[in-house]
A and B are shown apart, each in its own frame.
Chain A
Amino acid sequence: NAGVTQTPKFQVLKTGQSMTLQCAQDMNHEYMSWYRQDPGMGLRLIHYSVGAGITDQGEVPNGYNVSRSTTEDFPLRLLSAAPSQTSVYFCASKRGQGFTGELFFGEGSRLTVL
């Protein structure tokens, strides 16, 4: 059982470039989300989805887009990368649409924007 799979694990971009971080889960979880982790700032929610076709903004959505066309996949798009988006990104999923269940995290994608 793969759980939550993120690709790529590492990426270096130049300012202004675009890219997509991929996230796939094989647990048939309704809820999926993207976090960024920065030193001294903990985890911050970027976007989340409670089911296919439904997405919503978290606390730091600017500069990021998401879509949820299937239950399994939840890609995160950076349309024009900025150095402030240098971070470690985590995708997480859980059963149901509420906020009290266990989150299952991917191993993270480390992004550097030059």
Chain B
Amino acid sequence: AQSVTQLGSHVSVSEGALVLLRCNYSSSVPPYLFWYVQYPNQGLQLLLKYTSAATLVKGINGFEAEFKKSETSFHLTKPSAHMSDAAEYFCAVFNAGNNRKLIWGLGTSLAVNP
């Protein structure tokens, strides 16, 4: 069965520091992978997605993620954190095999300290 694991339910960084949010997936076929962000009291919005084109995907607000098949990972990074990046981040995977469902990770709450 496919699954998504986000390592670390809470991550705290200093403003200007590197942001690294981890996502590992399991999938029996090539997956589609997504990162969504949820700002306080808002709905989720798409940051970026991987759909089997370039393995390094650039998204909005300076975020990017790299698909690594050998590590079954799709970690989200940003070189320099801003206070406005404080939010909940969700990784999701879609498997186009037998189980055609979008599977969500449990989310990582990012805090940015001044």
Interface residues of A (CB under 8 A from B): 4, 40-45, 59, 90, 92, 99-100, 102-108
Contacts and interface: CB of A to CB of B under 8 A. Distances in A.
A68 to B, nearest CB: 19
B43 A108 contact: yes
Interface of B: 9, 32, 36, 41-46, 49, 51, 90, 94, 96, 100-102, 104-107
Contacts of A102: 46, 49
Given A40-B106, A42-B107, A100-B94, 6 more contacts: A41-B106, A43-B44, A90-B44, A99-B96, A100-B32, A102-B46
Contacts of A44: 104
A29 to B, nearest CB: 14
A99 B102 contact: yes
24 contacts: A40-B9, A40-B106, A41-B106, A42-B90, A42-B105, A42-B107, A43-B44, A45-B101, A59-B101, A90-B44, A92-B44, A99-B94, A99-B100, A99-B101, A100-B49, A100-B96, A102-B49, A103-B36, A103-B44, A105-B43, A105-B45, A106-B43, A107-B42, A107-B43
